[in-house]
């Protein structure tokens, strides 16, 4: 599989996947709408790579997608394009239905027509990899239980409901039309190039600037944290080695309460870059009203992908968080324009479709 279409490849997880594929020598066609979360600067390290093409376009445009698949003779699709912020989904669920549900439907239709036109080994080798989230499973009690691939879906937010719907559409296109698909559901990602509305980058940057650190409720909601580069490696394994029709849960096996995450960031920054006042950043923590439908706990059982595909995370939460904090300290050129409000997802170096 030498030519891969990645949707949402200028986003946080997508750009990590694209950078890895390009380093592996694959030809990557990177289709991204370049909304607020799609940042071409996240692809700066591969800007001169001849095996990467960034295309500005929307998965809702099925005819454009089909033409692109044919033009590039794509051998696999990794579908990461999605609206992904729970708070935004509560305030404006319509965009999540359009992108995550209708967009996936249009992409599936284009992929099916393209796949039907392939022959022989090309048709046999083609894969459609749909990347999803553990939030489709709802939440867990505070015990030793974990999400498995057989856990029933029980989404709590408009975001997770839209991702659950898209998962079902992907499975239906496999069962009804035979489209060769694989699926994966991941736990909370963190790492470099993470848009600073999400918990870890928001806390890092607020803490650097001595601003309040908002924590929902009492901060006792638990998440399983997965370093983004570990996730990218897992996704490529699922695409290239996963069994058709199967789904794989991908997690870091690193559960932490939200409050523990915020406190760890405060302590690490106090060591690396103390406040001028000499105070401790934990004093900046501010508890705010919990959001509606806030899931209590997520935990992923990733034994299937480890057993069948030989993948396991390389980073602990402590090592991954240290790398993440150091990256933000060293790369203000990336996050500075976003924080200052001078960023609008500039369409740098992208073909328009």
Closest C-alpha to 1, from 310, 307, 237: 237
**Quick check: is 72 catalytic?**
no
**Quick check: is 134 catalytic?**
yes
Strand order in the sheet with 247-250: 247-250, 181-186, 127-133, 76-79, 3-7, 27-32, 52-56, 351-352
> Looking at 41, 83, 134, 263, which residue is catalytic?
134
| Pairing state between β 127-133 and 181-186 | parallel
**Quick check: is 159 catalytic?**
yes
Angle, nearest 10°, between helix axes 103-116 and 62-72?
Answer: 40
> Looking at 41, 135, 230, 255, which residue is catalytic?
135
Contact (CB, 8 A) for 157 and 135: yes
> Looking at 114, 159, 193, 227, which residue is catalytic?
159
Strand order in the sheet with 188-190: 188-190, 222-227, 255-257
Number of alpha carbons in the 13 Å side-chain half-sphere of residue 22:
23
Distances, alpha carbon 256 to alpha carbons 93, 187, 298, 299, 318, in Å = 28, 12, 10, 10, 11
| CA dist., res. 169 & res. 112, Å (int) | 13
First to last CA, the chain: 24
Q: 45 is written with which tokens?
A: 């390290």
Q: Please identify every residue annotated as catalytic.
A: 134-135, 159
């Amino acid at each position: 599989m030498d030519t891969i279409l990645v949707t949402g490849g200028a986003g946080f997880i997508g750009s990590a996947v694209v950078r890895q594929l390009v380093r592996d020598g694959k030809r990557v066609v990177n289709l991204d709408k370049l909304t607020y979360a799609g940042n071409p600067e996240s692809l700066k390290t591969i800007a001169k790579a001849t095996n990467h093409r960034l295309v500005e376009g929307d998965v809702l445009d099925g005819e454009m997608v089909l033409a692109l698949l044919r033009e590039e003779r794509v051998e696999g699709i990794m579908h990461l394009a999605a609206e992904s912020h729970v708070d935004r989904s509560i305030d404006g669920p319509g965009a999540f239905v359009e992108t995550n549900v209708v967009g996936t439907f249009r992409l599936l239709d284009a992929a099916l027509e393209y796949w039907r036109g392939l022959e022989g080994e090309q048709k046999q080798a083609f894969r459609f990899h749909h990347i999803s989230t553990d939030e489709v499973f709802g939440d867990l009690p505070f015990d030793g239980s974990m999400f498995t691939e057989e856990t029933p879906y029980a989404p709590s937010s408009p975001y997770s409901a839209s991702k659950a719907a898209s998962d079902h559409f992907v499975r239906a296109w496999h069962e009804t039309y035979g489209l060769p698909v694989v699926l994966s559901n991941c736990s909370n990602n963190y790492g470099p190039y993470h848009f600073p509305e999400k918990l870890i980058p928001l806390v890092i940057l607020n803490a650097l600037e001595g601003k309040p650190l908002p924590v929902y409720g009492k901060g006792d909601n638990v998440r399983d944290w997965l370093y983004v580069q570990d996730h990218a490696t897992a996704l490529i394994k699922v695409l290239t080695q996963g069994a058709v029709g199967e789904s794989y849960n991908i997690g870091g096996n690193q559960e932490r309460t939200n409050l523990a995450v915020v406190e760890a960031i405060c302590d690490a920054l106090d060591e690396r870059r103390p406040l001028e006042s000499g105070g401790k950043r934990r004093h900046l923590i501010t508890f705010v009203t919990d959001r509606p439908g806030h899931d209590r706990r997520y935990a992923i059982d990733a034994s299937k992908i480890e057993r069948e595909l030989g993948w396991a995370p390389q980073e602990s939460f402590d090592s991954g968080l240290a790398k993440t904090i150091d990256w933000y300290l060293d790369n203000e050129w990336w996050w500075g324009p976003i924080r200052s409000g001078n960023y609008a997802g500039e369409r740098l170096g992208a073909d328009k479709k």
